[in-house]
Structure 1
Amino acid sequence: MTQYFRPLVQVGAARPDTALTLAGGWGWFTHVEVLERGRAPVVVSADQAYGDLSALTHPRAPIAGLEWDRPHVMGILNVTPDSFSDGGQHQGAAATAHAVQMVQDGAAMIDVGGESTRPGAETVDPQDEITRTAPAIAAIRAAGIETPISIDTRKAAVAAAALDAGADVVNDVAGFTYDAALAPLCAFRSAPVCVMHAQGDPATMHHDPHYDDVLLDVYDYLEERIAVLTAQGIVRDQIIADPGIGFGKTLAHNMTLLNRLSLFHGLGVPILLGVSRKRFIGTLADEPDAARRGPGSVGVALAALGQGVQLIRAHDVALHTQAIALWQASVAHRSS
C-alpha cells in the first residue's frame, strides 16, 4: 500500500535543531502525517517516517528567473470577453495597462489567458485564442515589461504563438491531456510548464464530480502527469504543479485539498494555488459578486503560505502582495 507523507509545516523563529527545511523555503517541519488509502492518518516525527523525504526537503530550482525561497504572486490577465469576474475588461491597450499596473503592484509573473475556463465555458477556436493572446503578450514586451509571462492555454498552436511573442511559461489547466502536441512543443522550446488537475473539461466539470479520495486522487494524477511530461523531455525542475481548486470539485473537495495542501510538496516541484475570486469563496463568505471576493481570496492565500505554497495566482495583486509582505514580517519573521 502506497504511503504519502504530508509535512506538518511551521514557520517562524522558534525552530528546533532537528527541524527539516521544506523545499528550500521559509517553512520547516519536525513531523509528517502518514496517509494511506483506507486507513486513518497517523502523525509521526520526521525521523521515524519509513520513507524517503528528500522530495519534501530539496530546494526547488529557479523557474523563469523566480527563486522559491519566498512566495510570489502570479497576476491574472484575462484577455477574454467572458471570464467569470473580469471578462471584457482587459482587451487591447487595456491589457497592457493592466499588466503594467500588476507589475507595479508586485506581480512576479503575469498569466495571460484567452479562453475562459469558468464552469460551463465553451472551447475557443485556436486562431481566435491566438488573436487574443499573442498580440497582448507582444504589446506587454514592447512596453518594456521584463516580468515572466505565462500563457494559460490547452493548445499547442496557442502556446507556440505566445512563446514567439515573448511568453516564458506554459500553464495548462488540462494537465497536458487536451492537445498531444503541447508537451513536445514545450520540451522542444525548453519552456517551463505548470500542470494542473481538473476532472472533466470546463463545459462539464461542474456536473457532479466524484472521487475515491480527492486528496490522494489529485496527488496521484499530478504525479502521473509529471512522469509523462518528463518522459517527453520536459525537465522535472522546470515543472510547477497546481491541484486545481474549483476545477471539477465540490465545496467539500476544495476544502479537503486546502486543508492538506502541504501534501503536494511530495511531488518535488513548486506548488501554484489558484483560488482568486472563486465560487467557493463567495459561498463561504456570502458574497455573490466575484469582484468583491478579494479579501476572502487573500485569506485563503495566506493560509496556503503557511503550508509552504510558493506561487499564488491572483486577480487583486496589490491586495495579495501587501498581505504577503505583512505575513512575512509578522508570521514568517522576514522583512523582505
Structure 2
Amino acid sequence: MRRYYTSACNFYYGKYSKFLVNKRETLPLHGKNNISFSHIKIISRNSEKIISIKKIDSLPEKIKIQIKNDLKNIIKKKKNFSNLKFNETNIMGVLNLTPDSFSDGGKFNNLNSGYNQALKLCKSGARIIDVGGESTRPGSKTIDASKEWSRISKILDKLKKFNTSLDTRKSIIMEKGIKKKVNLINDVSGLEFDQNSIKILIKYKTPFVLQHSQGDPQNMQKNPKYQNVILDIYDYFEKKIKFLKQNGINHNNIILDPGIGFGKNLKHNLSILKNISLYHSLGFPILLGISRKRFIKEISGINDSMERIGGTVSSSLFAIMRGVQILRVHDVNEIKQSVKVFDKLLNS
C-alpha cells in the first residue's frame, strides 16, 4: 500500500489554459493544452496538502520521486483504442436488453426496439454502445448464461458495424460477444465474478473496463463501508492492474471505472466524484456511470424525476472539468447537447 497519492487540482480551461501551458505556469492533463492544472494535492491516509507544481522539487526525496512518477501518468497523452478518442469526451450509450434494469427495464428488450434505440443513440452522438443482457441494479439476482445470451445474441449480429461494448460478468458471454466483434468488455464485477474472464481477455487481447464494486448486486447496498473510499478504490485498482499484468494481460487497453453506486452510499459517491481526478495518476482513461443514479435522487429530494437528466448533466459536466474521458449515459442526445454547449463556452 502506497503512502502518498497525487491528484491534479486547480484546473484551467480553453484559451487561457493553452496560454498558461505555453508560459509553463501549468501542466496539461492527458497532453491536452486546453485543460491544465497549476497545483497538486498530496494525499495520505492521515493528511492532505496542496502545493504548486513549481514547489515539487522542494519536497523530500522519497515523496518527490513518487509524485513525479504520478505526474508522468497524469500528463501523458492516452493512446486511443476501441474506436474511442481520449483527447475528447466520449459518450457511451446504454442499451439494456433486460426486463428489470433500474430505469429502463423492459423498454428495449426485443430485437426491433433494441436496434432502433441503438440507432438513436449513435445518431445522437454515442461513440460506443454498451449492450447488456443482465441487470446488475441493487437487489438484482444473477441469471444463467443461456438466458443472458438469448437476450443479446441477435442484436449483436445487427450491431456488428457499430462500435459496441458488452456489459457482462460471464466469460462464456464475453467470448461469444468477442466473436461477434464487440470492441470492449465492461464487467461491473472487476473480473471477479468469473475466474475464467481473465483467460478470455488474454486469449483475444480484448480491451476492457476494470470497475470497482463492493459486494454483489444482491447485497452491495447493505451498509457498505470503507476506511477511505477514494484511497481504498485507488489501492484496489493499483493492486488489480499489477495482478492482471502478472497473469498475462500484456496491454494497456484498460479503462478504469470507480463504480458509482456499486457498494457505495451517498457520502461515498460524492467523495468519489469530488476527487475523481486522483485516478488520473494511475495512467488509464476513466469512465463514469452516473446516469440516472440514486445519488441524484438523494441530493435532489422533491426535485427528483424519472430520468434525472438535470442531475446527470450537472455531474457529467463536473466530471469533464476533472478530465474524465468517458460518460456512460442513457440520455445521449441531452448529454451530447450539454457537452457541445459547455465545450463552446470553455473554448471560445
Q: Same fold (TM over 0.5)?
A: yes
Match among 45, 54, 63 for residue 81 of structure 2: 63
Any idea what the Cα deviations from partners look like across 1:69-95, whole Å, max 9, x if unmatched? 111100000001100000011122111
Preserved contact between residue 24 and residue 68 of structure 1 (Cα < 8 Å) = no
Query: Larger helix proportion, structure 1 or 2?
Result: 2
- SS of the equivalent of 1:233 reads coil
Whole-angstrom CA distance in 2 between matches of 1:95 and 1:209:
34
Name structure 2 gaps, 5 residues minimum: 57-63
Cα 1:208–1:288 change in 2 (3 A) is farther
2:6 alignment counterpart: 5
1:198 aligned counterpart, secondary structure: coil
User: In 2, Cα distance between the equivalents of 1:147 and 1:139?
Assistant: 9
1:1-336 matches, within 5 Å, as 2-8=3-9, 9-15=11-17, 16=20, 17-18=23-24, 19-25=26-32, 26-39=34-47, 41-49=48-56, 50=64, 51=67, 52=69, 53-91=71-109, 92-141=111-160, 146-286=161-301, 291-331=306-346, 333=347
One-letter amino acid of the structure 2 residue matched with residue 239 of structure 1: I
CA pair 170-42 structure 1, distance change in 2 beyond 3 A: same
- Please give the alpha-carbon distance, in whole angstroms, between the structure 2 residues aligned to 1:186 and 1:4: 29
Q: Deviations over 1:173-202 (max 9, x none)?
A: 111111111112112111100000001000
Q: CA separation in 1, counterparts of 2:93 and 2:14? A: 27
1:63-116 deviations in Å (ceiling 9; x for gaps) = 112221111100000001100000011122111110001000000010001111
Structure 2: how far apart are the matches of 1:129 and 1:225? 27
Distance 2:304 2:270 in 1: 21
Please say which of residues 212-221 and 50-59 is displaced more in the overlay. 50-59
Identify which range, 200-209 or 280-289, moves more after superposition.
280-289
Aligned to 1:30, the other structure's residue is in SS state strand
Amino-acid identity (%): 35
Q: What's the offset of the Cα at 1:228?
A: 2.0
Offset of 1:256 from its aligned partner? 0.6
Q: Deviations over 1:187-240 (max 9, x none)?
A: 211110000000100000000000000010011111112222222333442000
With the length of structure 2 as denominator, give the TM-score of the two structures. 0.91
Instruction: Tell me how far apart the structure 1 counterparts of residues 132 and 174 of structure 2 sit (CA, whole Å).
Output: 10
CA distance in 1, matches of 2:100, 2:222: 20
- Name the stretch that deviates more: 153-162 or 311-320: 153-162
Amino acid at match of 2:12: Q
Q: Distance in 1 between matches of 2:150 and 2:301?
A: 37
CA contact (8 A) 2:212 2:236 kept: yes
